[in-house]
Amino acid sequence: MRQRLPRAAAVLAAVLMITGCTTNNNVDTTKTTAIQPVAKDVSANDLVEGKAQFREANFGLAEQHFRKAVELKSDNAEAWMGLAASYDELGRFDFADRAYAQLLKVAGRKPQIVNNMGYSQLLRGNKKRARALLLEAKAGMADQTVVNANLALLDKG
């Protein structure tokens, strides 16, 4: 009786192994190429949320979302602009300068960027540098409304 139990267990284990290793020949292995994968901008959600938080003056939350957006997609100029502006509003001008430097590498020296850089200098109290940047931006902008408002702020202070 004692010898039958181990032998029966061994037979049962062998049967289970054999039946467990069978393959199912009914699986469709045809590769489909009709539907191409869609390239998704993984940073888009953070960019949208960063803008929403910035509009609500939640600059800390805006910074977090813009930072995540640039970490996910380092060539996202809009996210770099939002990140730099968030740092300006938080008074983190050292980080703002880094973000503007990266933004210039990604997007080039565009009037809108130079305007924001001028506003950053205005927030710091660097009036001479702010004026130079704002005038540079004004020369390149078709719609000068924003830069004129920044120059008016500069003249008030």
How far out from the chain centre does Cα 91 lie? 21
Quote the CA–CA distance of 53 and 63 in Å, as a whole number.
9
pLDDT at residue 41 in the model: 74
Domain boundaries, the chain: 41-96, 109-157
Report pLDDT digits (tens) over 55-90. 999 999 999 999 999 999 999 999 999 999 999 999
Architecture of domain 41-96: Alpha Horseshoe (1.25)
Predicted confidence at residue 5, as pLDDT, reads 66
Spatial CA neighbour of 86 closest among 57, 106, 121, 108: 57
Q: In whole angstroms, what is the distance from residue 111 CA to residue 149 CA?
A: 15
Summarised one tens digit per residue, pLDDT across range 9-54 is 677 666 666 666 555 566 666 665 656 655 567 789 999 999 999 9
